[in-house]
Amino acid sequence: MGVTRSTLSRQVSALEVELGVTLFERVGRSVVLTQAGSGLLEYARTMGAAAQDLALAATGTSKTVDGVVSVSSTDAVAAFLLPRAIQRISEVAPGVTIEVIATDTISDLRRREADIAIRHVRPQESDLIARLLRHASAHFYASADWVAKNGHPRSARDALKHRFIGVDRSGNYLALLQNCGLQLTESNFSVLVDNTVASWQMVRQGLGIGVTMEEIAALTPSVVRVLDDIAPIMFPIWLVTHRELHTARRIRVVFDLLAQEFSAPTV
């Protein structure tokens, strides 16, 4: 460890006093961990690894972190929000290659379908590590040309007269809009598309009203927020990974950088 035995002994003693537990005991000529020390060992290893990664990023020596890290997210997040985060990752850890898995289905991290997932629902699996980054908001939008042609609907009553872009045939999306106070029916949908990037492009091209994250809309100057009287749709952003976060440095570095990028809105 690069320190003398007496220095290490003093440091261990000071740590034991601070924690209020005995970490080591002498057995013959050997020193072994106590039961309390064994219980704290994994936490200490995690703290040590995190400190190493902090120093790595701060000194710019993170070039030693390399390999492929797969990140799963919805196609809209992958297309509009991930690029900035990936740019940041490439600056801090240029040896890391990000594999983007753009899907609206939840990747099974335990089967290694992805190393890290950006989710909008809290994972239930006990062997996954999840961090709630924040709650995001989504609003209703239409293209500026659509608004010029159809007017600017603001209330739930105004919405009844207009056409919407749907994202499924199952009725789940319609139910979501109805829970927002919009008494819409299937006849209000001009098109259904199960890809959120494609549906957003159709909104941009004036086919109807659609819903997207506030940050994505901010990247699209040709759209206008409509139905202003309707409360925003709030949803969580979870960052999830498997237990290898504690042992694979490249995954831990990417996880921490994604957490930094997605913890605050980009608008």
182-198 pLDDT tens trace: 999 999 998 998 888 99
Query: CB 156: neighbour CB atoms within 10 A?
Result: 16
Residue 123 or 247, more confident: 123
Stretch 56-85: mean pLDDT: 78
Query: Which amino acid, 148?
Result: A
Question: Poorest-confidence range of 2-6, 121-125, 146-150, 172-176?
Answer: 2-6
Res 266: pLDDT: 56
Q: What fold does the segment set 5-59 form as a domain?
A: Arc Repressor Mutant, subunit A (1.10.10)
- pLDDT tens profile 127-172: 788 899 999 999 999 999 999 999 999 999 999 999 999 988 788 8
The residue ranges of every structural domain in the chain are 5-59, 64-132+237-262, 136-234
pLDDT confidence band for 202 (50 / 70 / 90): very high
- pLDDT tens profile 5-23: 888 888 999 998 999 999 9
- Indicate whether this model's pTM tops 0.85: no
The C-alpha atoms of residue 162 and residue 49 are separated, in whole angstroms, by: 55
Q: What is the CATH number assigned to the segment(s) 136-234?
A: 3.40.190.10
Q: Which are the contacts of 174, defined by CB distance < 8 A and separation ≥ 6? A: 166, 184, 185, 186, 189
Q: What fold does the segment set 64-132+237-262 form as a domain?
A: D-Maltodextrin-Binding Protein; domain 2 (3.40.190)
Res 156: pLDDT: 94
Instruction: Note whether 64-132+237-262 and 136-234 share their fold.
Output: yes
